[in-house]
Amino acid sequence: MIDANEKSSVIRMFHVHHNYGIQKALIDITLDIPKNDFVFITGPSGAGKTTLLKLLYLAEAVTEGQVLIDGMNLSRVPRKRIPLLRRKFGIIFQDYKLIANRTVFDNVSLVLEAAGKKRRLILKKVRSVLRLVGMEDRQTALPLSLSGGEQQRVAVARALVGDPKIILADEPTGSLDDDSAGIIMDLLKDVHIRGTTVIIATHDKDLIRKTGGRVLFLKEGRLDTSSFVEKDYDNSIF
Ligand SMILES: Nc1ncnc2c1ncn2[C@@H]1O[C@H](COP(=O)(O)OP(=O)(O)O)[C@@H](O)[C@H]1O
Ligand SMILES: [Mg+2]
Q: Are 166 and 11 contacting, i.e. CB atoms less than 8 angstroms apart?
A: yes
The preferred substitution site among 22, 24, 50 for testing ligand 1, maximizing ligand atoms within 8 Å of CB, is 50
Per-domain boundaries in the chain:
37-53+87-229
Pocket of ligand 1 (CB under 6 A): 20, 23, 25, 43, 45-51
**Distance of CA 54 from the midpoint of ligand 2 (Å):** 10
Ligand nearest to the CA of 218: 1
List, for residues 205-224, the tens digit of each pLDDT value. 999 999 998 999 999 999 98
Helix (H) or strand (E) holding 223: strand 222-229
**Distance of CA 197 from the midpoint of ligand 2 (Å):** 20
112 half-sphere exposure, CB direction, 13 A CA radius: 23
Helices (H), the chain: 49-56, 82-86, 104-114, 119-132, 148-160, 178-193, 205-211
Q: Are 153 and 133 contacting, i.e. CB atoms less than 8 angstroms apart?
A: yes
**Distance of CA 200 from the midpoint of ligand 2 (Å):** 11
List, for residues 30-69, the tens digit of each pLDDT value. 999 999 999 999 999 999 999 999 999 999 999 999 999 9
Instruction: Give all strands of the β-sheet with 9-20 in edge-to-edge order.
Output: 23-34, 9-20, 64-69, 72-73
Give the mean pLDDT of 95-124.
96
Alpha carbon distances (Å) from 59 to 12, 39, 50, 51: 17, 21, 10, 9
CATH superfamily placement of domain 37-53+87-229? P-loop containing nucleotide triphosphate hydrolases (3.40.50.300)
What is the reported pLDDT for 8? 83
The residue contributing the CA closest to ligand 1 atom 24 is 46
Helices (H), 41-103: 49-56, 82-86
Number of other CB atoms surrounding residue 203 within 10 Å: 17
Backbone phi, psi, residue 77, to 5°: -85, 125
